[in-house]
Structure 1
Amino acid sequence: MTGAISPDRIEQLAKAFDADPHARVMQNAVTKTAVDAVALDHRAAVAAERSMSHQLDDWSATNQKMSGRCWMFAGLNLLRVGAAEKLGVKEFEFSQSYLQFWDKLEKANFWLESILQTADRDVDDRTVAHLLGSPTEDGGQWTMFVALVQKHGLVPKSVMPETQSSSETRQLNRNLGDVLRQSARDLRAAAASGESADALRERKDGVLETVHRILAIHLGTPPTSFDWQWRDKDKGFHRDGTLTPQEFAQRYATLPLDDYVCLVHDPRPTSPVGRTFTVEHLGNVVGGPPVVYLNVDVATMKRIAADSIVGGEPVWFGCDAGKMHDRDGGVWDANLFDYDAVYGTTSDMTKVDRLLHGATAMNHAMLFSGVDVVDGVPRRWRVENSWGTDKADKGFWTMTDGWFDEHVFETACRVDALPAELRDAIATPPIVLPAWDPMGALAQ
């Protein structure tokens, strides 16, 4: 058959491999050792100096464990800096499982609304298929984090601590996904039979009752109020009485989240710099702030991030964390591994190429907590990860500036940090991208 691999060709391939001494050496190495250990460029790993000219972190790294809550951890890690200062404590964490509960309930509602909006399309329509493929992801975006805090507030970790399912979400997501897909089947069938919009939303409300019950079983019931008292780092005792989560957020989340905008670096030719974008069916809170990005060049993104750190404020960011990273050493460098030397290949895909051909997308969010600036130019970045304290520098990673160029996609910054022309661009109507566009990827 035309296009099939013939027996003769298979024989030729085997002979060519056997005749290549480099390939045989690599086979000996990689069959006994992980390929990343073989391909690691020792000089690049050693060159990633951990010290920074500007370093903010004086706290411990957090641990999202076996969950996709990095975006939530990064957002709460940004807010906890001011909270710890206001409380007079060295270490403080907001409850990640509290926001996780509300995120999953809100996401279920948002997803069910999308199912209703697309109920007149075939089940194999590309948008419908995209929705059915991911009804209950852990991941999120900066704007989705802001929406949760604005609507549901915050509580200390001691008030709603981690559970087995908050730290390891696979079984919760599996079972919740089954419930939601079944509900999608039933809602689509009811819509096809001519049920009214009110009747369909009544059905949806019944699904949400089930989702709430499942979440409460797995994560616990979120508090509506709680007594708050604590001791500061000098052992002084404080009591703030009974607070709702919204009141707690207003008092101890000191950053003005309304004043932030999400920047992206999308270098594709179809994505002009200085324009805003949104993605269909992307979000978590119905009626919350829409997910809108402002596309900027990477130099602008880096300058704003560095200025924020130098000014004393960490920076939330999203990236493709799986590229060129040494998990044990805690290093991201664009040239950290020489896979071409191992495989005898030539890798020349650009950031644009990778986006267009499905080779990259944002998949992880963290916090910049330091930057090394030389003659006004950043050359390295310090990163607070949420993978625990047993890797890297007790959970803090080092990123080279070249890696930032290639693999960072998003940052959150204050609007007043933007140049005037970009501030004006925020108010322009966003270009709408399809639901499956890589700019709609969730950090998880």
Structure 2
Amino acid sequence: MQDYQPLTSQRLNDIRTSFDSNAQRRLAMNASVENGVNKVAYNYDAARFLQRRFSTQLNQGKVTNQRRSGRCWLFSSLNVARFVAKREMGIANQEFEFSQNYAMYFDKLERANYFLRDMAELIAQGKTPDSRLVQFQMESVMGDGGQWTMAMNVYKKYGAVPKDFFPETEASMNTRFLDEHLRHMLHEQVARMFQNKDNAAEVERLINEGVERAHSILTVNLGEPPVSFEWEYTDDEGNFHRDGEMTPVEFWNKYVGPAHLEDYVCLVNDPRQEHPRGEKIAIQHLGNVAGGDPTEYLNVDMSVMKDLARRILVEEGIPVWFGCDCGAFADRQKGNWSVNLFDYESVYGFGQSLNKEERVRYWDSAMNHAMAFNGVDVADDGTTTKRWRVENSWGEDVADKGYFTMDDEWFDEYVYEVAVPKSMLSAELQEGLNKPALELDAWDPMGALA
């Protein structure tokens, strides 16, 4: 045992006496135990002045609902894609969704193969089961989270299908047991791979067996994805269209391909000073499709991210995928994000003083949710952004029928990533894309998945 200074009864009594003598703290306690601290700290003015009016607002329709799953990155990327597809088909005023279940099926199948081959490489390098990297990979494998590039890897290889052709299942809406079963199976395969580390043929057999077992688990829980389907629709002008039989890749290429989403690049704001702006960063061992595009980000100032997000919404008229720390200063039920939404200092006697760089460095904040910007309010100067409209995937029972409002300062502090067309980057930033990425550890905060 370390010779730490103990918390003495005298010290505890002094703390208690100090608290009891503070009428404001006791009032906060009495109110919070009955109502919850967020209701007590709620800033009425910050909430009521965060208006739901935007100078640019896209017509998307009903929000989607990821239920009890961590598929927000797939929902949000498919929300961008469905906006494009509805526009291409001329059904902007109709409801349409892509199958998120289909995307998850192939992400998890590919991720099983990626993980097992990554572990085989670590074993070949002499890593042991108790190494930090192996332990981290084993603990984090087969979660639901992901990144924009990982989603595009799935769509480029497998395309997408309308939701009617591969609807949600019990396991897709509540992924806990599906993920547990996949994780247990992969752990077992890796254990056998370590036990046969000197037998390359047996390691390869175990990898292939693991992929087959993943296919079995996924198909039992999610159903068998369609290889092709007949597609007909009636546009907003009343014209009937019959495309005939299409594969999912053909469907994606025809109705989403014109937006060239696969060519988008991911911009991040890593505020740590040792990570230069205008250069790429990557997270070691982060990926889902073997042979797909690597998960890399271009590190930029917030002003660049914000300006491009505004321009895409206003000039291109397309939603913008982004990742953020959604739990900070958030009112989920009313649908507000504002840095002034809660006055914790008045309740506790102290506030939250870490800046964005410190929050990332000390793991106080990281990206944990992906959504799509659906609108923006821009001042009369044409460039200054005031607030943002957000298409979430938490259903219609929260916020403004599922659409949230974010103030501009919250964007600065808690948004970490946006996906933008490469063509919109400056020549200097495009040059940064041609340089090798700075590789960060697998457990780095910037590797947190939405």
TM-score, normalization: structure 2? 0.96
C-alpha distance after superposition, 1:354-386 (max 9, x if no partner): 101011110000000111000220010110000
Q: How many Å separate the matches in 1 of 2:171 and 2:128?
A: 34
Partner SS state of residue 163, structure 2: coil
> Which runs of 5 or more residues in structure 1 are unaligned?
none
> Which runs of 5 or more residues in structure 2 are unaligned?
none
Match of residue 248 from structure 2: 245
Partner SS state of residue 318, structure 1: strand
Cα RMSD (Å): 1.2
1:67 to 66, 69, 72: 69
- Could you list the structure 1 runs, at least 4 aligned residues long, displaced by more than 4 angstroms after superposition: none
Structure 1 contact 57–370 (Cα < 8 Å) conserved: no
Match of residue 349 from structure 1: 354
Match of residue 135 from structure 1: 141
User: Which range moved further: 81-90 or 151-160?
Assistant: 81-90
- After TM superposition, give the deviation of residue 226 of structure 1 in Å: 1.2
C-alpha distance after superposition, 1:262-293 (max 9, x if no partner): 00001101110000111101010000000110
1:111 aligns with 2:82: no
Q: How many Å separate the matches in 2 of 1:102 and 1:272?
A: 35
Match of residue 165 from structure 2: 159
1:182 aligns with 2:188: yes
Match of residue 440 from structure 2: 433
Same amino acid, percent of matched pairs: 44
C-alpha distance after superposition, 1:8-57 (max 9, x if no partner): 22222222222111111111011101111111101000111100011113
User: Which range moved further: 99-108 or 198-207?
Assistant: 198-207
For 1:126, give the aligned amino acid. Answer: R
For 1:384, give the aligned amino acid. Answer: E
Structure 2 contact 159–248 (Cα < 8 Å) conserved: yes
1:28 to 30, 36, 41: 30
For 1:348, give the aligned amino acid. Answer: S
Structure 2 contact 378–386 (Cα < 8 Å) conserved: yes
User: Which range moved further: 12-21 or 350-359?
Assistant: 12-21
Structure 1 contact 328–391 (Cα < 8 Å) conserved: yes
Partner SS state of residue 386, structure 1: coil
CA change 1:54–1:143 in 2 (3 A) is same
- After TM superposition, give the deviation of residue 2 of structure 1 in Å: 4.1
1:340 aligns with 2:342: no
Match of residue 122 from structure 1: 128
User: Which range moved further: 94-103 or 177-186?
Assistant: 177-186
Q: How many Å separate the matches in 1 of 2:394 and 2:319?
A: 18
2:216 to 213, 216, 229: 213
- After TM superposition, give the deviation of residue 346 of structure 1 in Å: 3.4
Q: How many Å separate the matches in 1 of 2:389 and 2:59?
A: 9
Q: How many Å separate the matches in 1 of 2:82 and 2:196?
A: 46
Structure 1 contact 115–184 (Cα < 8 Å) conserved: yes
Match of residue 264 from structure 2: 260
Q: How many Å separate the matches in 1 of 2:70 and 2:262?
A: 25
Match of residue 328 from structure 1: 333
Question: Number of paired residues?
Answer: 440
Structure 1 contact 135–181 (Cα < 8 Å) conserved: no
C-alpha distance after superposition, 1:228-258 (max 9, x if no partner): 1223344443221111111111111132123
Q: How many Å separate the matches in 1 of 2:127 and 2:338?
A: 45
For 2:141, give the aligned amino acid. Answer: P
Q: How many Å separate the matches in 1 of 2:86 and 2:42?
A: 39
Q: How many Å separate the matches in 1 of 2:314 and 2:233?
A: 31
1:149 aligns with 2:155: yes
- After TM superposition, give the deviation of residue 129 of structure 1 in Å: 1.3
